[in-house]
């Protein structure tokens, strides 16, 4: 899978994508992430990417030209399954959306900024608009990193134990059951006996019951 991210802050992606699993997925050739500095596509001599809004109002608006040129160039090089715009008024990102995007071969993710982008881009360029939650971030960069992480970890071979993505919270509409590791006793706090019993069937039953109980208490909307 290839993901092209368009941003005015390319450095913001140095951290999230150069560690752990996302780094490994790139090293293994399972994912390719390309970061494009939007200012490189501006035909303005000051590399301007925004302008005042027609009709007045606070804040600047991202202009069509640099974004359109960047997307057009990428599209001339390969086919994209989705051209996504990160925005707080997009569809709320969830696990089914991550699952669907993980089937794609090529994705473009555009990070929004300022008060917004020229509406004509939204009407003509993007195939979907995604929000990662009902709050406003300073820009779409962190949101794009969240979506990229959630999608890439689902690619076969990225997680060392493939079943671990399948058993995530949300994949089966249940939260995960509690987990424990050594020592079996700490500060008088003990691990549930059943997990120490070696009885595979009883352990699976206990884990399922705890997952259902946890979901009922914390997220009854998921049941
Ligand atoms: N840009 C600013 N806030 C955002 C959000 N919540 N989701 C996606 N993009 C954003």
Residue 134 lies in a domain: yes
Q: Which of 115, 137, 146 to mutate to test the pocket of ligand 1 (most atoms within 8 A of CB)?
A: 137
Please say whether the beta carbons of 60 and 70 come within 8 A.
no
> 107 CA to middle of ligand 1, Å?
18
Q: Which residues pair with 51 in a beta bridge?
A: 61
> 41 CA to middle of ligand 1, Å?
23
Whether residue 141 sits in one domain with residue 38: yes
- Over residues 34-56, the pLDDT tens digits come to 999 999 999 999 999 999 999 99
Q: Which residues pair with 35 in a beta bridge?
A: 5
**Ligand 1 atom 6: residue of nearest CA:** 88
Which regions in the chain score pLDDT beneath 50? none
What pTM was computed for the model? 0.93
Q: State the pLDDT at residue 163.
A: 61
Burial of 215 (0-12, 13-18, 19+ CB in 10 A): buried
Residue 166 lies in a domain: no
Contacts of 174 (CB under 8 A, 6+ apart): 211, 212, 214, 215, 222
Q: State the pLDDT at residue 13.
A: 95
- 3-state secondary structure (DSSP) of residue 188: coil
Q: Please give the number of the atom of ligand 1 that sits closest to the Cα of 86.
A: 9
Q: State the pLDDT at residue 167.
A: 72
Whether residue 84 sits in one domain with residue 14: yes
Contacts of 101 (CB under 8 A, 6+ apart): 82, 107, 147, 151
Structural domain total, the chain: 2
Spatial separation of the C-alpha atoms in residues 95 and 147, rounded to whole Å:
10
Q: State the pLDDT at residue 164.
A: 73
Q: State the pLDDT at residue 57.
A: 93
Tokens matching residue 16: 């999230």
Q: Which domain holds residue 145?
A: 2-152
């Amino acid at each position: 899978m290839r993901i092209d991210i368009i941003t005015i802050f390319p450095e913001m992606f140095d951290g999230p994508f150069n560690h752990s699993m996302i780094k490994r997925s790139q090293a293994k050739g399972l994912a390719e992430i390309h970061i494009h500095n939007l200012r490189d596509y501006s035909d303005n001599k000051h590399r301007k990417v925004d302008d005042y809004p027609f009709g007045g109002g606070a804040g600047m608006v991202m202009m069509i030209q640099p974004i359109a040129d960047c997307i057009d160039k990428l599209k001339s090089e390969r086919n994209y399954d989705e051209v996504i715009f990160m925005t707080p008024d997009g569809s709320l990102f969830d696990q089914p959306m991550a699952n669907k995007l993980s089937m794609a071969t090529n994705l473009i993710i555009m990070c929004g900024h300022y008060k917004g982008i020229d509406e004509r881009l939204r009407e003509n360029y993007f195939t979907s608009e995604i929000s990662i939650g009902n709050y406003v971030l300073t820009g779409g960069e962190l949101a794009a990193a969240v979506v990229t992480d959630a999608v890439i970890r689902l690619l076969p071979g990225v997680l060392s134990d493939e079943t671990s993505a399948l058993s995530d919270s949300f994949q089966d509409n249940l939260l995960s059951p509690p987990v424990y590791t050594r020592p079996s006793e700490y500060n008088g706090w003990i691990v549930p006996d059943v997990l120490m019993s070696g009885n595979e069937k009883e352990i699976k039953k206990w884990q399922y019951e705890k997952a259902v109980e946890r979901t009922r208490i914390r997220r009854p909307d998921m049941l």
